[in-house]
Amino acid sequence: MKSFIKYITITLILILPSCSHKKKWIDCERCNATGQVVYVCKTCDGNGIVDCEVCLTRGYSTCNSCGGQGSDRCNMCFGEGRERCITCGGTGYDSFSNFQCGMCFGRGYKDCFFCNGTGYRDCSSCGGRGVTVCRYCGGDGETVCTECNGEGKSEQQYPECDGTTKVYK
């Protein structure tokens, strides 16, 4: 194997000086000897901004807390819409006079003050709208391009010189 390598080395030494076409390494003109070339970003067409994929350019998304319903179960009455009357203890009668309770009118309960007897309250996260501002685009419907980091262009290694700044010609 060593003799083969020696043979190739000697052969190359003999052949190279006799070559009539002399190639040499020169500065790459396409990359201005920087090894890098600036390309327009194909993802954003050079704008640096792309449509938000999370909200599909709407600027809002479905509320995660209420699932888009706009309301949550009341946490004061646990969704029942009523509270036990504290005056009569839920019996409907005044314990001193044995008459109908004046606070609950004999029902033993009263409508929940917080949800007005519905059992539901407006969602605290979305204010009852069922949607929230998209947290990725801030409601704009657009985000910064991740391919070029919003620059609209990218520097890449130039393929002709492989980033070495020299070409063999």
Kindly state whether residue 40 falls inside one of the protein's structural domains: yes
Kindly state whether residue 142 falls inside one of the protein's structural domains: no
Task: Tell me, yes or no, whether 121 and 160 share the same domain.
Answer: no
Torsion of CA 96, 102, 104, 106, to 10 degrees: 70
Total of domains in the chain: 2
How much is the average pLDDT of 8-21? 50
- According to the model, what pLDDT value does residue 140 have? 92
Task: Tell me, yes or no, whether 121 and 78 share the same domain.
Answer: yes
Q: pTM to 2 decimals?
A: 0.46
28 vs 140: CA distance, rounded Å? 43
Quick: pLDDT tens for 81-137. Answer: 999 888 888 898 887 777 898 888 889 999 988 898 899 988 888 888 999 999 889
Quick: pLDDT tens for 97-113. Answer: 778 988 888 899 999 88
Strand pairing class (71-73; 120-122): antiparallel
138 vs 147: CA distance, rounded Å? 20
Kindly state whether residue 18 falls inside one of the protein's structural domains: no
What is the domain range of residue 37? 24-59+147-169
Kindly state whether residue 140 falls inside one of the protein's structural domains: no
